[in-house]
Structure 1
Amino acid sequence: MRLACFTLFAALACPAQAVILDASPNKVFTRASAEAAFTGAASLTDSDAHTAVIETPGVAGGAAASVTLLPFSGAPKDQASGSLAISFLGGAGSAADSFSFTFTGTVSAVSALAAAADPASARVTLQGLMLFYLDPAYTGLPAGTLLGTLHADGLRAASAYESFSLTLADTTAGTSTLLLPGGTGHDLALRVGHGYALTASYTMDVPHGVDPDFTLALTGTAALQPVPEPNAAWLALAGLAWLAARRRPC
């Protein structure tokens, strides 16, 4: 009986743990893409994209893309540059999984010209995608069972000329939640046998005569459904049950 009580208490005190990659065959697919453009009568564009599959628990991995574009003519500092780094770290032990989309760059169009006498606006567009699936064969639980929670932190407010968002989708259930600048975070239920998609997008679009830098990090975690710590009532009931068992005749 003492062993049974100890096991119960240990389970009740169990902390949140990694839900996606911790010692599992589950994989996370990431894709990062970047595009820079000067838009005018003669437009210029350039792009970059990379993908990665992460399957090593406890090791950070992901995809990154970056691009820099200069106009045909204009001020030496004029450029449209941006980068997106996607990172996923599968938790080890009691640590939760964590993810981030980090956007950085400069959109400079102080006197940019895409062609003679054609002042060009500058634009940088960055997009990231993260996909994963919770395999029933690994969990040993029926499809649809609540396994954990994915938490996305709230997004900061947007400054002039920029827009961005983060979409959390349960692709199996066909549901999604859109997070916008200045909003709060969101918790998404993770269920066995379901696939999930995180889509992040960022655009800095400035007219001729503006020269901003930008940086933005979208972050979050994924963990097994935490089990609450034992409270006084639980402890009292368990203690009474143990005493009652002790007093029973063999």
Structure 2
Amino acid sequence: MSLRSPSSTVARRTAPLLAIALATTLGACGSADRLANVGKTPSLSAIQDPTTTAGYRPVQMPMPTAQPEHYNSNSLWRSGARAFFKDQRAARVGDILTVLVTISDKAQFDNETSRKRESSDSSGTGGAVGAAINTFLLPSGTSSDNLVSASGASDFKGTGKVDREEKLQTKVAAVVTQVLPNGNMVIEGRQEVRVNFEVRELIVAGVVRPEDISASNTIESEKIAEARIGYGGRGQITEVQQPRYGSQVLDIVLPF
């Protein structure tokens, strides 16, 4: 027998109510902001330094030992340099390069699982012992030949199918926010486009090699390590496509 303190029971019962109340308060604040912007176009975010935005964290990765640069006498070659001639490709913090975002994914999965099991067990007593049990212990009309009988059956069948196809092709300019000790660069770019009452956002971030940047100062998205690419929007169309905050809270709180 387990004992529960009244405080723990009250906390367990009031937790869902507190979650609903908090979500209702936050939803009310969001509704007030939306009511204040009725009839207005969604505002664009101000241009700012990506390193000052909330949630920004410098990238830390394993690096090889840095090689000091020096010039040899009567030589134009610089040790540690990646190329003989200097070009205008992005190479320092604050430089800009163009990312060619090309995403074309297609996945198809079709799984089926079937399982079935049956079992039957019985036990009884015969001979003199069985006769004594039938005479003195069991009611009339019963027999000890089949004292215990058990049977069970289980049947399970599951199917699953995934058919997904995604395609995105666009361009976005990114800014070099860090130059790692081995020469690789951390980039981050954000693009916002407003059409009527809908704002489309495109975010690109990751780590690139200078060798992968073409002569036209562009790089393909598939060559970005630790790539983070986000494409979405905000506005009237996006709000209609999302369930109301009350439905979202109930989906989280309700156990069925």
User: What is the TM-score normalised by the length of structure 2?
Assistant: 0.22
Greater share of residues in helix = 2
Greater share of residues in strand = 1
Which has the greater radius of gyration? 2
